[in-house]
Structure 1
Amino acid sequence: MEGLEELEQLTIEQYLSFSSESEYSGDDTQSKVDIEVPQGKVLLHMFTNRHLRLRDNTALYQALAHNPDKFYAVYIMEGLDSIAVAPIRWKFMIDCMEDLKYQLLEYGLEVYFLSGESSSILSTLINQWKITHLSINMDPDVNFISYNEKINKICQENNIQMFTDLESHRLLWLPNTYKDPISMTKFRALLAEAITAKQNNTCSEAYIQTVIPDLNEDQLIELGKKERIPCPFISEIPQLRNLFPNTAFSQLTFLFQGGERYINNIFLNEYREARLRHTPVEEISPIKAKAKPISPYLRFGCITPRKFFQFLVDLINNSNYSRINIDQALAGIIARDFALQASQKQPIPERIISYNNLCLPIPWDRNSNLIQSFNAAQTGFPFFDAAIIQIKTEGYAVNEVTESLATFVTNGLLWISWEEGLELFYLNSVNFDLPISTYSWLEASSSTMISGLQKQYKDPMLYVSRQIDPNGDYIKKYIPKLRDFPLEYIHKPDLAPIEVQQAANCIIGVDYPKPLFEYTSRQDKCCKRMKVFMEVVDTAAHAQALPHVVEGCKGRFPT
């Protein structure tokens, strides 16, 4: 009995190690001693890249309501060594990881940051930790179907009760009766009906999701006191220097700090004052006025759309804040929701969104020199080169800039595929979201969201100079070589006389490239190309025979 008394004094971790490695020797009457260690309900929560938050976490709250006896949390970085996205986005994700780590430490809990194949890691954790319940906010996008199926299969095979939420990354809940993407017109109608129903406390076909009550902190404190089995894998938050050992970080500007606590305690206050307060137009440039974006925090789930929506609604009747600015922010959430509901039904980018069933096969120019000049920010058109440089060095540009750039790259001037622009954003944007970015590039290039009518173009250079960057400050910031050009020539420095170029210490064609094209004739050519193509589309649309684009499509981008 002495041996049994010693075993009873062992911790769970010591017992598991002892029982798996030790053998009892002796005659046939002696055998290994089996001791059943009661586990009770053991909950594992999996954080994902759309839901890097502890609070307002539907799946987690549902599982905690079942009063688990033990709690574990993991964040699995699948394919970490092969991810080629920019350091700026990784820095934001690392901030989010650090924030989750310290939030859980306050309750005596830990989140394990693991790298590897999710299903393999999950299977091991389930066996090691004796998991009985699992919570995860899955991504409903069709590109994640296989991932979701793997998680579901593992839970079924191990008789694990799973709690999930497919909708909390969106604002508007749509019933399952909508099997296909709906048009923006229908989407807005459903949204208006849902808002009215919410105000009147009545039912509607679709509904605005409501912010859920706060976390039960006492429950987490009690779970933090429970003894837990160590993680069988190495857990570490990656470091930028290890991920990008040869990167010159001095050339990058890290504008964004990630994390749920940061957005709730600091960022929302800054956003309210910078973006929503009444500000005379003449006091601040359009670019500076919109330079504090919410999109990275929505993208990685530091805040839910429903919480941000409620934040905006609470300000509507406050006279200190502009209803126009608030409505613009609300419009941004609506556009985001619309793109997400479409991506939930169809693969992207091979198939498209809304009116047309398939992406229009516009015959884009595949000229490698054009593509190379675009990626190197050497097009000779200063504003757009500045935009490319900003995206590469800061990971972000305001919507007005990105929309103008998308038109310039595709049907406005360069006439190269929207996929090239999408890849630039995928590799560099801190807030890159595959369905949302794809929707934006498809629409800007007229590859979708059209009814066959020719799109009416504004002169993007005129739009830039008069509305977005009237004084050329944006160009001067990101292309310092042009900072001494007078305002008359800052947007088109190739038109400056040679003596002006010499005075500015920048010779066009030597210190800064000449434009790839003569602007007016090239724009006319692009407009004619689009007009001819739209006539074909209009005929095909009436015949209900729109073609499917497969050839030349690069396929899905990883997320």
Structure 2
Amino acid sequence: RFYWQLHDLFRAVHGDEPPASESLTGQLIWREYFYTMSLNNQYYGEMARNKICLDIPWREKDIQKDLDMWKQGKTGYPFIDAAMRQLLSEGWLHHVGRNAVATFLTRGDLWISWEEGLKHFLYYLLDADWSVCAGNWMWVSSSAFEQLLDCSHCVCPVSYGRRLDPDGEYVRRYIPELRNFPVEYLYEPWKAPLEVQKKAGCIIGQRYPERIVDHSKASHKNRQYMEAIRTSMMSCQPPHCCPSNDNETRQFMWLPSECADHICI
């Protein structure tokens, strides 16, 4: 009944356009799939003993400072920080924000295990669901639910933020120290001339942190790591399914095909 009520609701709002209802139905199917995959797997929320999770050699040394900055919303990337601060203050986060911060923590920038992110989410999310949350962390980090490290979408925290929040309302709401920054520098505040920073009342490195990582360099290095891991594992295939096609992943990440190339770097 719930399934058909959802379809009736989306049909009333969107007419006969299939993507909206299919996207919602897809989310429900993934939820049930994650429930099924976790049912007889007590180690579903960890990597080492989890038979469906790839054994990716995430960073283990000297991660605490980066991890703490990520948790506190002090990475120096305003869209990421706004999302993490919303999580801390409200206990909720839109799924595109969850995807962005999860990618940033894992294969996108910091190369820290998804297990750390899962623990943080389960502690703060009001809607925390162990099966769904762990499943999504494994998927977004490319640790499971792909063919074999085959996801090409690693969102850029700058371009992705601009696309989702072009006027900067979201960032300004959760990062008040950047409230007076002009939108042209809002997502890359380190590029703002000192005079602009002074006028905005926020000196980068003092009132708002410097970047803890250079995304362009880190993402390039991490893609090389992923390619090396993929090559070493080509003889084995994880015992689970993956998104049916590239379009499903784009919809999940809210990535329109016409702008995905400059959002995913």
Amino-acid identity (%): 32
Q: Hey, what does 2:68 align to over in structure 1?
A: 372
Q: Identify which range, 474-483 or 322-331, moves more after superposition.
A: 322-331
Distance in 1 (CA, whole Å) between partners of 2:141 and 2:25 is 24
Q: Say if 2:71 and 2:84, in contact at 8 Å, map to a contact too.
A: yes
Q: Hey, what does 2:99 align to over in structure 1?
A: 403
Q: Hey, what does 1:328 align to over in structure 2?
A: 23
Q: Hey, what does 2:166 align to over in structure 1?
A: 470
Residue 479 of structure 1: how far off its partner (Å): 0.2
Residue 471 of structure 1: how far off its partner (Å): 1.6
Tell me the amino acid that sits aligned with residue 376 of structure 1.
Answer: Q
1:343 aligns with 2:41: no
Residue 374 of structure 1: how far off its partner (Å): 1.3
Q: Say if 1:382 and 1:491, in contact at 8 Å, map to a contact too.
A: yes
Tell me the amino acid that sits aligned with residue 404 of structure 1.
Answer: A
Secondary structure at the counterpart of residue 538 of structure 1: coil
Tell me the amino acid that sits aligned with residue 24 of structure 2.
Answer: A
Distance of aligned partners of 1:484 and 1:450 in 2 relative to their CA distance in 1, 3 Å threshold: same
Q: Say if 2:73 and 2:85, in contact at 8 Å, map to a contact too.
A: yes
1:499 aligns with 2:200: no
1:393 aligns with 2:78: no
Distance in 1 (CA, whole Å) between partners of 2:102 and 2:117 is 7
Query: Which structure has the highest strand share of the two?
Result: 1
Q: Hey, what does 1:452 align to over in structure 2?
A: 148
Distance in 1 (CA, whole Å) between partners of 2:16 and 2:122 is 33
Q: Hey, what does 1:358 align to over in structure 2?
A: 52
Residue 325 of structure 1: how far off its partner (Å): 3.0
TM-score using structure 2 length: 0.80
Distance of aligned partners of 1:502 and 1:319 in 2 relative to their CA distance in 1, 3 Å threshold: closer
Q: Hey, what does 1:430 align to over in structure 2?
A: 126
Residue 459 of structure 1: how far off its partner (Å): 3.9
1:308 aligns with 2:7: no
Distance of aligned partners of 1:335 and 1:522 in 2 relative to their CA distance in 1, 3 Å threshold: same
Distance in 2 (CA, whole Å) between partners of 1:504 and 1:451 is 47
Distance in 2 (CA, whole Å) between partners of 1:317 and 1:325 is 9
Q: Say if 2:74 and 2:81, in contact at 8 Å, map to a contact too.
A: yes
Q: Say if 2:156 and 2:215, in contact at 8 Å, map to a contact too.
A: no
Distance in 2 (CA, whole Å) between partners of 1:319 and 1:385 is 33
Q: Hey, what does 1:528 align to over in structure 2?
A: 224
Distance in 2 (CA, whole Å) between partners of 1:326 and 1:358 is 29
Residue 463 of structure 1: how far off its partner (Å): 4.3
Residue 310 of structure 1: how far off its partner (Å): 2.9
Secondary structure at the counterpart of residue 435 of structure 1: helix
Distance of aligned partners of 1:412 and 1:475 in 2 relative to their CA distance in 1, 3 Å threshold: same
Which of the pair has the greater relative contact order for Cα pairs under 8 Å at 6+ separation?
2
Distance in 2 (CA, whole Å) between partners of 1:430 and 1:319 is 28
Q: Say if 2:77 and 2:158, in contact at 8 Å, map to a contact too.
A: no
Work out the number of aligned pairs and report it. Answer: 234
Distance of aligned partners of 1:374 and 1:465 in 2 relative to their CA distance in 1, 3 Å threshold: closer
Distance in 2 (CA, whole Å) between partners of 1:494 and 1:533 is 33
Question: What is the root-mean-square deviation in Å for CA atoms of aligned residues?
Answer: 2.4
Q: Which runs of 5+ in 1 are unaligned?
A: 1-306, 545-559
Q: Say if 1:315 and 1:321, in contact at 8 Å, map to a contact too.
A: no
Q: Hey, what does 1:441 align to over in structure 2?
A: 137
Distance in 1 (CA, whole Å) between partners of 2:23 and 2:146 is 23
Secondary structure at the counterpart of residue 234 of structure 2: helix
Q: Say if 2:189 and 2:204, in contact at 8 Å, map to a contact too.
A: yes
Written as runs of structure 1 = structure 2, the 5 A alignment for 1:103-502 is: 307-315=1-9, 318=12, 323=17, 324-347=19-42, 348-350=44-46, 357-366=51-60, 367-502=63-198
Q: Say if 1:351 and 1:359, in contact at 8 Å, map to a contact too.
A: yes
Distance of aligned partners of 1:322 and 1:464 in 2 relative to their CA distance in 1, 3 Å threshold: farther
Superimposed CA distance per residue, residues 488-536 of structure 1 (whole angstroms, 9 cap, x where no aligned partner): 1101101111111101100000001100022211221111111111111
Residue 451 of structure 1: how far off its partner (Å): 2.5
Distance of aligned partners of 1:420 and 1:453 in 2 relative to their CA distance in 1, 3 Å threshold: closer
Superimposed CA distance per residue, residues 451-486 of structure 1 (whole angstroms, 9 cap, x where no aligned partner): 335431344225423421122111111001001111
Distance of aligned partners of 1:351 and 1:522 in 2 relative to their CA distance in 1, 3 Å threshold: closer
Larger radius of gyration: 1
Q: Hey, what does 1:219 align to over in structure 2?
A: none
Q: Say if 1:452 and 1:535, in contact at 8 Å, map to a contact too.
A: no
Tell me the amino acid that sits aligned with residue 233 of structure 2.
Answer: V
Q: Say if 2:162 and 2:187, in contact at 8 Å, map to a contact too.
A: no
Residue 317 of structure 1: how far off its partner (Å): 5.1
Tell me the amino acid that sits aligned with residue 358 of structure 1.
Answer: I
Residue 392 of structure 1: how far off its partner (Å): 1.2
